[in-house]
Amino acid sequence: MHNSDGRDGSSESLPPTSPAEIGALSDRLDGDGRDGYHPDGDGRDGDGRDGYHRDGDGRDGSPASTISRAEIGAISSAISRDIVRIHAELYGRGPTKAKTYLDEDFALCILQEIFTPGERTLVERDHADQVMAMRHAFQLAVEKQFVEAVESATGRTVKAFFSQIHIGSDSAAELFLFERQPE
């Protein structure tokens, strides 16, 4: 499989390092097998290793290993699909767009066009505060489902989950912080 930048994503294990490569990757949409990887400034994780890392089987403390860009894309896509699926099951409608970014320390899923027709009506009639309060309460009530989906896709333990909506842009951000991996 060739990415739009001409590199073979199936065997590439180094993250993009130039601003152009980072921009090209961050502009891609998830859901088509391409990655939503977005590294820190120079592509390093601060520990001298390149890329996204995970434990051997994710939980037993075995040595961390760098995973390929294709695996990052598959994990990112799986997280996006699961988050959209959970939203659709619980809200009766899922977001129309989702993109997940992976880092060694977190997964960030950006969702767009999230509101149901009823929520849009409330927002249009100056009741955005009720929509925000309901969404916040609901996310707290179903946090376990979101965390389990991300842990299953990544093999990592989530230590914290944050969910925030933005009324004006009809979007949301779901942030999952991972437990630190053993060195």
pLDDT score of 51 more than 70: no
In a domain, 39, yes or no: yes
DSSP character at residue 50: B
Give the per-residue pLDDT at 66. 74
pLDDT score of 95 more than 50: yes
Closest CA to 180 of 154, 156, 162, 147: 156
pLDDT tens digits along 142-162: 999 999 999 999 999 999 999
In a domain, 46, yes or no: yes
Phi-psi map region of 54: left, alpha, beta (phi>0 left; psi -120 to 50 alpha): beta
Question: For the chain, what is the mean pLDDT?
Answer: 74
Size of the chain, expressed as the number of residues it contains: 183
In a domain, 150, yes or no: yes
In a domain, 11, yes or no: no
Give the per-residue pLDDT at 12. 30
Q: Are 76 and 52 in contact (CB under 8 A)?
A: no
Number of domains in the chain: 1
Helices (H) and strands (E) in the chain, counts: 5, 6
Give the per-residue pLDDT at 28. 38
